[in-house]
Structure 1
Amino acid sequence: MTTPYSTTTAPARFLLLGDSHAGPIGRAAQAAGIPFQGGPIGAGREFTDGFFEPSASDVAFHNPEADAYYRGFLKELDAPGLGGLTVPLVATFGFSAHFMATRENWHVYRRHDGGFPEGFLTSPLFDAIVCAMVRDALAFYRHACTLGLRVLAVMPPQRVPGLSDPAVFMAAQECVRRAVVGLGVEVVDLRARTTGPDGFQRPELCEADDEIHGNLASGRLILADLLARGL
């Protein structure tokens, strides 16, 4: 899901960069006629560690396809680099919590009965592990904020595939949220509006025949929140 989205001829209101979770946001903006640039430029697992190189006023993505998309977006925005943006940056980097929550990753920390020691998922150790797993996503946000951009990060749909541990998913995304907020990033957190009593994404906001993604309706809720923030 790395197809970038075109925008109208009106001035773009934001740059959207991210993984496949950026897709519904872009589709919602297209459907609503909201001008923007950007879209998904890779898979979520590609945007955790070692995916970009910072420079004084820009970034370069290591994946040539992702970097080509990014350069195209900048050209349409008439921006010489990330530091030259005159619109906010909306991103989903680092929030693909289902990758972090893959059950195999956490086997060594479990008790013999399969559970975790009491307090492990809220411990400094767990937080340090999660932040290490997404260290370059955090570095990206830090660099963007250093360049003076208004940065908004969108939390993921509350959907946990079978290979992932729901408890780890919930705890890990909270670690990332806290770390990103600490960098000065605005976090778009719609969990109170998109989840049922069980804490998971409501069915009407889920992409059909898919274990991970939100649908166009979920994208519309995110877009509405972005617009309410002045984008």
Structure 2
Amino acid sequence: MTTPYSTTTTRPEPATASPARFLLLGDSHAGPVGRAAKAAGIAFSGGPVGAGRDFNAGFFDLRGTDVAFRKPEADTYYRRFLDELGISGLGELTVPLVCTFGFSAHFVATTENWQIYRVGGGFAPGFLASRLFDDLVRATVRDALAFYEHARGLGLRVLAVMPPQRVPGLSDPDVFMAAQESVRRAVTALGVEVVDLRDRVTDASGRQRPELCEPNDVIHGNLAFGRLILADLLARGL
């Protein structure tokens, strides 16, 4: 699915005199973060490098201390971002890495994928909190987790941004909520800082409040949502 953010980047103009404060890598959910930083005059490098479904499994290879994205377009964006920072690989990064890989929970929660685990139209009691469910989710996003593990192994400060609390019609809401928790726990265990704004952006139903949603769109957060994420990042010292 092509989105306004998967086809454009949100990095500042190369001529900026301010040093970048972080490298932003991710799917379309990185778009509002980059837009907010640009609007606020916060220097950074990076932005979306593809769609969320591209960054769960089989999307990169290790190249020493660096990575190479398997999709040429993604790798082209990534190399451009590194050039802006004056480095040639991830291992040379001296600023924090902000990332959204693995957190497009609506892909993981595609209803059809979970039909085999339903009993009488619903899940068995405790299934969504079970070790089996957790293992299935982690297997689905295994290379996103491997990417975070590699970055942490390089000594990088890594911050992962949880997704907007929006569930499109093809996804199961209960699986969405449980799956993002599984990913959150997995990346936290790797030493990744998780930007989790759920208690600030949702209503009583647990869904994203309308004023923080991109209009005419069933998945993304808007600029206001990006500003909340940016504020959290800045409060963490970025």
Correspondent of 1:49 among 54, 57, 63: 57
> 2:214 corresponds to which residue?
207
Distance 2:200 2:116 in 1: 35
Q: Give the Å deviation of 1:55.
A: 2.4
Q: Give the Å deviation of 1:57.
A: 1.1
Contact 2:21–2:42 (CA under 8 A) maintained in structure 1: yes
Distance 1:48 1:137 in 2: 5
Distance 2:103 2:151 in 1: 17
Distance 2:170 2:11 in 1: 34
Q: Give the Å deviation of 1:6.
A: 2.9
Contact 1:2–1:19 (CA under 8 A) maintained in structure 2: no
> 1:155 corresponds to which residue?
162
Distance 2:58 2:110 in 1: 20
Aligned residue type for 1:219: G
SS at match of 1:79: coil
Distance 1:163 1:9 in 2: 45
Distance 1:189 1:46 in 2: 22
Correspondent of 2:104 among 96, 99, 114: 96
Q: Give the Å deviation of 1:56.
A: 2.0
In the TM superposition, structure 1's runs of 4+ consecutive aligned residues that sit over 4 Å from their partners are none
Distance 1:94 1:163 in 2: 18
Task: Report 1:13-162 matches (<5 A).
Answer: 13-112=21-120, 114-162=121-169
> 1:227 corresponds to which residue?
234
> 1:5 corresponds to which residue?
10
TM-score, normalised with respect to structure 2? 0.96
Contact 2:26–2:100 (CA under 8 A) maintained in structure 1: yes
Distance 2:96 2:86 in 1: 14
Aligned residue type for 2:53: R
SS at match of 2:122: coil
Contact 1:48–1:93 (CA under 8 A) maintained in structure 2: yes
> 2:196 corresponds to which residue?
189
Aligned residue type for 1:218: F
Contact 1:2–1:43 (CA under 8 A) maintained in structure 2: no
Aligned residue type for 2:153: T
Query: What RMSD, in angstroms, separates the aligned Cα atoms of the two structures?
Result: 0.6
SS at match of 2:205: coil
TM-score, normalised with respect to structure 1? 0.98
Report the count of equivalent residues: 230
Q: Give the Å deviation of 1:5.
A: 2.2
Deviations 1:80-129 (CA, angstroms, capped at 9, x unpaired): 200100100000000000001000000000012x1100000000000000
Distance 2:111 2:11 in 1: 38
Deviates more, 1:194-203 or 1:3-12: 3-12
